[in-house]
Amino acid sequence: MKKKKALIYGITGQDGAYMSKLLIEKKYDVEGISRGGNFVNLKKLQILDKVKINIIKSYGKNKLTKILKKNFDEIYFFGGVSSIVESYKNIDDTIDSQFAPIKTILSFIHNQKIKKTKLLFAGSSEIFAPTQKKINERSTPNPQNPYGISKSITFELIKFYREKFSLPVCTAIFFNHESSLRKEKYVIKKIIINLKKIQNKKINYFKLGNINIKRDWGWAPEYMIGCYKMLQKKKVEDFVIATGHSVSLKKIIIYLFKKFNLDWKKHIKISSQNLRKNESIEIHADISKIKKILRWKPKFFYKDFLIKIYNNEI
């Protein structure tokens, strides 16, 4: 049987690396696209020598189209600007980093004559406005930051191509998901790294913004299983991928510090400089569709993966 071929755009990030590992285990030939030469996540997962990496530093379509002509069975897009803070620094680049390559990929798939490559785009709960209601695939997008805007307009473009031209393209609407491969700039990893520094007497405290926010935090490796299942369906469609359980950042802090017999109030200072503009206070996910149709549900919740990250389990 001929091996399937997959292309992972953003292969060196957390999601791209875990997706690569999963597909390699399923006997795929895996190629990736990256903007730079930082392959640390692939090295940690011991798969760097098992993937082919293409470097694309800009969003021009010529080099991307040349790669697409290899006619992959599946494409997973995890590229682009990946943080809300960074998105405010260069709004144009944030939007281009998502929209431009996806536009090229969609055009290529649309023009394919025989086999249509399947595409999964990594969307985000940030495309939705703050609401007390649970967010699902039918919720109306209303992004509140440049990162959310970049994800929202790309999500709508993909939806248009799927519905207008019957293309096998979709969006995984991700809620927050963590792992040991996360960079320190993300709040869960930041808390754990600084907790270790406090334990080792390297620092006495660190600063955070609003710790009363509630998010749906999950374990990244199992979210990639959800993505894989999405592209194995004959009818490709959008799914929310989350745990279905939201928890406050404060509760996470209390749990971690209590676990190691520390008083968090002595070691964390709330700083106005760390507050975000237009930040959603509460976000809740409805995962009934993915549970029913794909038979996917999370096994790891915040207490499970916090200790995994602390122990640097990958």
Question: Residue 298, CB half-sphere, CA atoms under 13 Å: how many?
Answer: 27
Q: Is the pLDDT of residue 195 over 90?
A: yes
The residue type found at 244 is G
Q: What is the pLDDT of residue 84?
A: 83
Largest CA distance in the chain: 64
Instruction: Give the C-alpha separation, 10 to 14, whole Å.
Output: 9
Angle at CA of residue 208, ends 206 and 212, nearest 5°: 140
- The chain-wide mean pLDDT, for the chain, equals 93
Instruction: Give the C-alpha separation, 68 to 296, whole Å.
Output: 30
In the structure, what pLDDT confidence band is assigned to residue 183 with cuts at 50, 70 and 90? confident
Going along the chain from its start, the domains and CATH numbers come out as: 5-178+217-244+286-293 (3.40.50.720), 187-214+246-284+301-310 (3.90.25.10)
Instruction: Give the C-alpha separation, 87 to 85, whole Å.
Output: 5
Q: Is the pLDDT of residue 117 over 80?
A: yes
Q: What DSSP assignment string belongs to 82-139?
A: --HHHHHH-HHHHHHHHHHHHHHHHHHHHH-SSPPPEEEEEEEGGGS---SSPB-TTS
Q: Pick the range with the lowest mean pLDDT from 9-13, 79-83, 141-145, 148-152.
A: 79-83
Model pLDDT for residues 92-101, shown as the tens digit of each residue = 889 999 999 9
Q: Is the pLDDT of residue 207 over 70?
A: yes
Q: Is the pLDDT of residue 277 over 70?
A: no
Question: CA–CA distance from 66 to each of 5, 54, 60, 104, 197 (Å)?
Answer: 15, 11, 11, 11, 46
- The reported pTM is 0.94
Q: Confirm if 242 and 128 have CB atoms less than 8 A apart.
A: no
Q: What is the pLDDT of residue 275?
A: 60
Model pLDDT for residues 9-28, shown as the tens digit of each residue = 999 999 999 999 999 999 99
Instruction: Give the C-alpha separation, 279 to 272, whole Å.
Output: 13
Question: Two tokens at 189?
Answer: 């990893």
